[in-house]
């Protein structure tokens, strides 16, 4: 369980260092939520029992997500705010939310499988901790507030503090998967394969030269 005062302290330090507006505080709901159940996310099911997934023989030519998406609109907005700090818009490169990373995360944490269920706990727990730290619902953050919050999160993660470190690692990882498996992300990484051809030519001369071969 995170020490709430400690968590608050880094956030306040982070806020004090910035010229950002003070985070709006919905005192009643935020405080009540933190005091009553500080970081207890809902769970879809503790263990995978072989049901509710896409099964062992899904139609591979027509991929379908077979489980219900479970995040609320506010949770998805909150995730979008954070994801756009991890993977921001940059020139022609779109932000995470512009390539539907929040929707991918919803698909991920709603899946009935053990890894995804574990990630669901980590993500919702981490978001609850962040919410408590900021004393404000995450979905109400603007971009610069989200930036400050993630800076504080990063500092805590760098020190190995939990649950921030766990949240930082898993949230970042799922964002990376969601982003770089889209056509935009694939192109940004420079993957240019999947081209049927009569022969495999091997790496081009300029690549071999760079490799010293």
Out of 1, 5, 68, 193, the residue judged to bind another protein by CB under 8 A:
193
- What one-character DSSP code corresponds to residue 111? S
Which is nearer to another protein, 42 or 206 (by Cβ)? 206
Under 8 Å between Cβ of 96 and 83: yes
Rounded alpha-carbon distances, angstroms, from residue 62 to 99, 186, 196: 21, 21, 21
Which is nearer to another protein, 93 or 140 (by Cβ)? 93
**Does the footprint of another protein cover residue 60 (CB under 8 A)?**
yes
Binding mask 89-108 for another protein (x = CB under 8 A): -x--x----------x--xx
- What one-character DSSP code corresponds to residue 186? H
Give the span between the Cα atoms of 142 and 14, in whole angstroms: 15
- Least Å from the CB of residue 115 to another protein: 8
Which is nearer to another protein, 72 or 115 (by Cβ)? 115
Out of 55, 69, 142, 143, the residue judged to bind another protein by CB under 8 A:
55
**Does the footprint of another protein cover residue 169 (CB under 8 A)?**
yes
**Cα–Cα nearest to 93, from 181, 191, 179:** 179
Residue 20 has a CB neighbour count (10 Å cut-off) of: 18
Please choose, out of 11-19, 28-36, 57-65, 137-145, the segment that lies near another protein by the rule CB under 8 A.
Answer: 57-65
Give the span between the Cα atoms of 198 and 194, in whole angstroms: 13
- Least Å from the CB of residue 144 to another protein: 13
* Nearest-5° Cα angle at 14, 9 to 18: 145
- Interface with another protein (CB under 8 A), residue total 70
Please choose, out of 14-22, 29-37, 87-95, 137-145, the segment that lies near another protein by the rule CB under 8 A.
Answer: 87-95
**Cα–Cα nearest to 83, from 100, 68, 70, 71:** 100
Please choose, out of 14-22, 35-43, 127-135, 167-175, the segment that lies near another protein by the rule CB under 8 A.
Answer: 167-175
Under 8 Å between Cβ of 42 and 124: yes
Give the span between the Cα atoms of 58 and 43, in whole angstroms: 25
Binding site for another protein (CB under 8 A): 48-50, 53-58, 60-61, 63-66, 85-88, 90, 93, 104, 107-108, 111, 113-116, 150, 154, 157-158, 168-169, 172-173, 176-178, 180-183, 185-186, 188-204, 206-208, 210-213
């Amino acid at each position: 369980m995170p020490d709430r005062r400690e968590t608050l302290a880094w956030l306040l330090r982070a806020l004090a260092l910035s010229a950002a507006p003070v985070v709006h505080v919905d005192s009643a709901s935020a405080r009540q939520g933190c005091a009553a159940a500080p970081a207890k996310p809902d769970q879809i099911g503790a263990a995978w029992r072989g049901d509710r997934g896409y099964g062992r023989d899904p139609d591979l030519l027509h991929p379908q997500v077979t489980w219900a998406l479970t995040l609320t609109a506010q949770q998805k907005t909150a995730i979008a705010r954070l994801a756009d700090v991890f993977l921001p818009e940059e020139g022609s490169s779109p932000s995470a939310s512009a390539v539907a990373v929040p929707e991918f995360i919803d698909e991920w944490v709603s899946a009935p499988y053990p890894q995804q269920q574990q990630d669901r706990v980590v993500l919702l727990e981490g978001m609850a901790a962040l919410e408590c730290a900021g004393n404000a619902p995450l979905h109400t953050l603007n971009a610069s507030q989200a930036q400050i919050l993630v800076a504080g999160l990063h500092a805590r993660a760098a020190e190995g503090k939990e649950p921030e470190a766990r949240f930082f690692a898993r949230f970042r990882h799922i964002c990376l998967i969601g982003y770089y498996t889209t056509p935009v992300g694939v192109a940004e990484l420079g993957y240019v394969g999947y081209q049927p051809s009569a022969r495999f030519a091997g790496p081009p001369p300029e690549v071999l030269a760079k490799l010293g071969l």
